[in-house]
A and B are shown apart, each in its own frame.
Chain A
Amino acid sequence: QVHLVESGGGVVQPGRSPRLSCAASGFTFSTYAMHWVRQAPGKGLDWVAVISYDGSNKYYADSVKGRFTISRDNSKNTLYLQMNSLRAEDTAVFYCARGAAYASGGGWFDPWGQGTLVTVSS
């Protein structure tokens, strides 16, 4: 069974740099692009970043470019999101989702993890 489990969320002070993780199981992790998508409280889905199956290509939303870094460790079946210079407006539930096989763009998101809440507050 395909399964994604995020971790690393919590209350974080503005300017701090937490790292989120997403543990994958039930599929060949190294053959799929992986995404991070966030959802602020009461708001819609907001795509954050994607990384290709081998980590060679990465794309980011303008709102996080230069502050967030997506990475993966295929030997550990784990996706990461390093978040720097956090702001109050980054408060959201962060979901990881499986993307397309062997491609960064296109495809679809399936499945999604259960999400991890990041609250940026002093």
Chain B
Amino acid sequence: QSVLTQPPSVSAAPGQKVTISCSGSSSNIGNNYVSWYQQLPGTAPQLLIYDNNKRPSGIPDRFSGSKSGTSATLGITGLQTGDEADYYCGTWDSSLSAWVFGGGTKLTVL
């Protein structure tokens, strides 16, 4: 069982918007920055969002991140079939002295 909780799956139609939640505690999300990763089928994960809401160069502004208290959210607008992937949240856990990931959310673009 993962320290961070994500929904196993989400789905939406092309062009629509979807949000993926990531719930933790004060020892992880509550006091540390959150990052998000996209893993397309058969490939290595790729950084999508860092420091809660910042996008690396090359990541389109359709992707956004936010954090409130002990939860974080990834938003994706203008869904495309190419966005079908597994999405993971992650952060440092100060109590565990360990990095923790969510269990992952599979996005299906119907």
Distance in angstroms from A84 CB to nearest chain B CB is 20
Q: How many residues of A contact B (CB 8 A)?
A: 23
Give Cα distance in the complex from A61 to B99, angstroms. 8
Q: Which of A14-22, A66-74, A111-119 lies on the face that meets chain B?
A: A111-119
Known contacts A44-B101, A50-B99, A61-B98; A106 and B92 CB within 8 A of each other: yes
In the complex, which residue of chain A has the Cβ closest to the Cβ of B93? A105
**A residues near B39, Cβ cutoff 8 Å:** 45
Q: How many residues of B contact A (CB 8 A)?
A: 26
Known contacts A44-B104, A50-B99; A109 and B47 CB within 8 A of each other: yes
Give Cα distance in the complex from A71 to B33, angstroms. 26
Distance in angstroms from B58 CB to nearest chain A CB is 11
Give Cα distance in the complex from A111 to B94, angstroms. 23
Per DSSP, are chain B's interface residues mostly helix, strand or loop, or mixed?
Answer: strand
Contact call B99/A112, Cβ cutoff below 8 A: no
Among residues 68 to 122 in chain A, which have CB atoms less than 8 Å away from a CB atom of chain B? 95, 105-115
Per DSSP, are chain A's interface residues mostly helix, strand or loop, or mixed?
Answer: loop
Give Cα distance in the complex from A109 to B99, angstroms. 10
Known contacts A95-B44, A106-B33, A111-B47; A47 and B97 CB within 8 A of each other: no
Give Cα distance in the complex from A107 to B45, angstroms. 16
Contact call A108/B35, Cβ cutoff below 8 A: yes
**B residues near A62, Cβ cutoff 8 Å:** 98
Q: Report which A residues bind B (CB closer than 8 A).
A: 35, 37, 44-47, 50, 59-62, 95, 105-115
17 more A-B contacts (CB under 8 A) besides A108-B47, A108-B51? A44-B102, A45-B39, A45-B45, A45-B101, A47-B100, A50-B99, A62-B98, A105-B92, A106-B32, A106-B92, A108-B35, A109-B35, A109-B47, A110-B56, A112-B44, A112-B45, A113-B44
